[in-house]
Structures are given as structure tokens and as C-alpha cells.
Amino acid sequence: MTSAPFDVLETDRLLTTTRSVRRRLDFERPVPREVIEEALEVAVQAPTANNQQNWRWVVITETSVKEQLAELFDISWRFHQKEVWTASGRRRNSRQAQRNNDSAAQLARDIARVPVLVVPCVLGRPPDIGAIDTEWLRSRADDAATARDDVRIGAMRASIFYGSIFPAVWSFQLALRSRGLGSTITCMHLPFERRVGELLGIPAGVTQVCMVPVAYTVGTDFAPAKRYPAKSRTSWERWQA
């Protein structure tokens, strides 16, 4: 029996209105555990590199743990502000960038109030691209086809490493959106990955990829963002300036 086609208008509405939600998270409305579990079951159906399915998920709801994470988050955010934002005059002068910065700053202040924090993880550590390329050239010295200076595999290994988890994270966010919840991706805790790992019991050999704050949203009337048309950024057959 052939499955019925999807409602393209509805799926496109879901895909184009799933925003990074920071300002409109409802801190007062509890998020049932079963809703997170349902969304994660959707997430793990995402395509995986080499069918490894090497993702893991850590879900945090305990207030005391979130407060400890918030302390580290705040330190990282203030460092980010000083080292990245204040050094970029072009971004500071962009109204859109300023709105995004203000939104991120509010999340940094309120991160402990978010009902659920999810840390997507990958088993193993990120590939060292430089070391992999060096070893590749050394081991392939006698192979004329692959020993060339313009042949590298480090970037491929890195792409494979992250190629499973981010599709799963996006599927998780879409599943949340379809259930009336909002989320965003943040990496502000990663400078303290080891300390966070100790707090959450995550082994040192596991990579924390990001953090996804989750809450019901204040209203559901999200709209498509202002973007350049895809055709203005797309080349066919060969790169076009």
C-alpha cells in the first residue's frame, strides 16, 4: 500500500517557521517528560553517517543542576561578548545582529529558568583534522593517486563525526515545534565541557555538541525569517560569483 503524500503546505509551514526561540520561552509552564521523549523518538529517525547512531542525549530538569550550568553559561557569555561582539563593529552596527545579540543575552540571563535543557552528545572525540591529514600523507607516500598535496581526508572525518548529530538535533527541534514548544541551539557551556561533564556524569570520551533549551512558547505565531532568496545564493554546475 502506497503512503499518501505529505501536505506540502503544512510541512513547509513547519520547516519555515521553526525559529530559534529565546525571548518567547514560557518559564512557568512545565514540560511533561513524555513530550521530550516523543520528540527524541522522532529525532533518532534522522539520517546518520555510516548508520552509526552514535548520538546520546542528556536531559536536565533539576533546578539545582540548571543553576550550576547557568553560572558557567554566564561566564562563557560574558567572555563571548568581550572577545567576539565588542571586536566586531560591523555586527554592532547591524540592527538585525543587535536584536539577535539582545535575544541571546536574555537567554544567558534566564537559562536556569528554562524548564528543560537537552545536551546532545556524540560517542568519541572530534577528529583532529591537522593530525589526520599529516598521518594520511605519511601513510600514503607511496600511492601516487592519493599522496598529492591537494588530497586530504581530515575534513571528511570531521563531516562524518558531526554529520549524524545535527540532523537529529534539527529533527528534535521540528518535533518540538509541532507540539507547541520552542528551542534554540547554544554552545555557551562548551568552554567548560569537562566541568559540565563532571556535573552531568558524561564520560571524558563523549563529545557534548551543543545545548538545546526547551520550553513551551508564548504564542505560536512564528513567521518565516527574512532571508536572501535561495536562487541568489545558488550556483548550478559551477560556482558563480
With 70 as the cut, is the pLDDT of residue 1 above it?
Answer: no
Tell me, what's the pLDDT at 88? Answer: 59
Question: Which one-letter amino acid corresponds to residue 35?
Answer: V
Distance between CA atoms of residues 168 and 33, nearest Å: 19
Tell me, what's the pLDDT at 115? Answer: 98
The domains located in the chain, with CATH, are: 13-88+100-141+150-232 (3.40.109.10)
H/E stretch holding 141 reads: none
Distance between CA atoms of residues 80 and 25, nearest Å: 23
pLDDT per position as a tens digit, 54-74? 999 999 999 999 999 999 999
pLDDT per position as a tens digit, 157-209? 999 999 989 999 999 999 999 999 999 999 999 999 999 999 999 999 999 99
Mean pLDDT of 22-46: 97
Beta carbons of 196 and 189 less than 8 angstroms apart? yes
pLDDT band at 91 (very low <50, low <70, confident <90, very high): low
With 90 as the cut, is the pLDDT of residue 236 above it?
Answer: yes
The region, left, alpha or beta by phi > 0 then psi within -120 to 50, assigned to residue 202 is: beta
Beta carbons of 122 and 207 less than 8 angstroms apart? yes
In the chain, which ranges are continuous DSSP H helix? 8-17, 33-43, 63-80, 89-92, 95-110, 129-139, 154-162, 165-178, 193-200
Q: What is the pTM of this model?
A: 0.90
Distance between CA atoms of residues 45 and 118, nearest Å: 17
Q: In terms of pLDDT, which residue wins out, 148 or 62?
A: 62
CA distances from 130 to 62, 154, 156, 157, 158 (A): 40, 7, 12, 11, 11
